[in-house]
A and B are shown apart, each in its own frame.
Chain A
Amino acid sequence: EDQVTQSPEALRLQEGESSSLNCSYTVSGLRGLFWYRQDPGKGPEFLFTLYSAGEEKEKERLKATLTKKESFLHITAPKPEDSATYLCAVRRGRRALTFGSGTRLQVQP
C-alpha cells in the first residue's frame, strides 16, 4: 500500500526565515512525486513533479528535491503570501494520487 508522510504538520516562520518541508514515501513503481499548494477553501495548485532520485526543480522561492525515500520542499526567504498548506502526493502507474496529510505553513511579517 502506498504511504506518504509529511512533516512537520504545521510550521510557523518569520518572513525571510528559510526552512524545509519533508515528504517521506513508500510506493512500488513510483511514477511521479508531486507537490501542490492549497489555500483554504480552494483546490490544490500544482507546483512540481519529480520523477527520479536526484532530480531538482525550482520555482521562485521554492525548490523541490527527490531521493529514493523522501522529497524536500525548500522555501528560501519566504513571504507572507507563501502561507498555505503544502501537499505531497505520489502516483503509481496510472492510478490516482495518494496524498500526504500536508504541512500548514504560516509566514509572519
Chain B
Amino acid sequence: GAVVSQHPSWVICKSGTSVKIECRSLDFQATTMFWYRQFPKQSLMLMATSNEGSKATYEQGVEKDKFLINHASLTLSTLTVTSAHPEDSSFYICSATSPTTGDSYEQYFGPGTRLTVT
C-alpha cells in the first residue's frame, strides 16, 4: 500500500516552454503533497507544500509564478514549470501524506521526474 506515482518519468523540453509533472497517490487519499527538487549529488530540497483544495505554500526562494502547483483532488497534484530555462533542469520528486495511513505524518515518495531543458 501507499504507492505514489509520477508522470512522466523523464522529459526533455526546449527553453521557454512549459512542462507539467503529475503526482498521484494510487491507493490512498493524500491530503497533503510535497514537491522537492534534487540536483546531482545533492539532497532533496523542499519547494512547496500543497493541501487539497487550497493554495500551495512555497519555500523561500521558490518562484510561485514559475512553479505552478495545483492539488485539485485527493489523489492528484501537478507541478507546472513555466517558461523553463536550462537551470531548471533537475530531478523533481513528490511525496504524499495522509492521516489514513499507519503513521499520520508518514510521507511516501514518488519515483521522481527527470527534467532536462535544452
Chain A interfacial positions (CB closer than 8 Å to B): 31-32, 34, 36, 41-46, 49, 87, 91, 94-102, 104
Given A41-B114, A44-B93, A96-B34, does the pair A101, B109 have CB atoms closer than 8 Å?
no
Separation of A36 and B107 alpha carbons in the complex (Å): 11
Given A41-B112, A49-B103, A91-B105, does the pair A96, B46 have CB atoms closer than 8 Å?
yes
Contact residues in B for A43 (Cβ distance below 8 Å): 4, 6, 93, 109-112
Given A41-B114, A101-B42, A101-B43, does the pair A32, B109 have CB atoms closer than 8 Å?
no
Chain B interfacial positions (CB closer than 8 Å to A): 4, 6, 32, 34, 36, 41-46, 49, 91, 93, 95, 103, 105-112, 114
Given A41-B112, A42-B111, A96-B49, does the pair A87, B44 have CB atoms closer than 8 Å?
yes
12 contacts across the A-B interface (CB closer than 8 A): A32-B105, A43-B93, A46-B109, A49-B106, A87-B44, A94-B32, A96-B46, A96-B49, A97-B34, A97-B46, A97-B95, A97-B107
A-B contact count (CB 8 A): 52
Contact residues in B for A104 (Cβ distance below 8 Å): 41
Separation of A31 and B44 alpha carbons in the complex (Å): 19
Given A41-B114, A96-B34, does the pair A46, B43 have CB atoms closer than 8 Å?
no
Given A42-B112, A43-B111, does the pair A94, B105 have CB atoms closer than 8 Å?
yes
**Contact of A44 (CB < 8 Å), options: B42, B44, B103, B114:** B44
User: Are A46 and B108 in contact (CB-based, < 8 A)?
Assistant: yes
Minimum CB distance partner of B109 in chain A: A43
Contact residues in A for B103 (Cβ distance below 8 Å): 32, 49
Contact residues in A for B111 (Cβ distance below 8 Å): 42-43
Contact residues in B for A101 (Cβ distance below 8 Å): 42-43
Contact residues in B for A97 (Cβ distance below 8 Å): 34, 44, 46, 95, 107
Separation of A42 and B112 alpha carbons in the complex (Å): 6
User: Are B43 and A102 in contact (CB-based, < 8 A)?
Assistant: yes
Residue among A41, A43, A49, A97 with most chain B CB within 10 A: A43
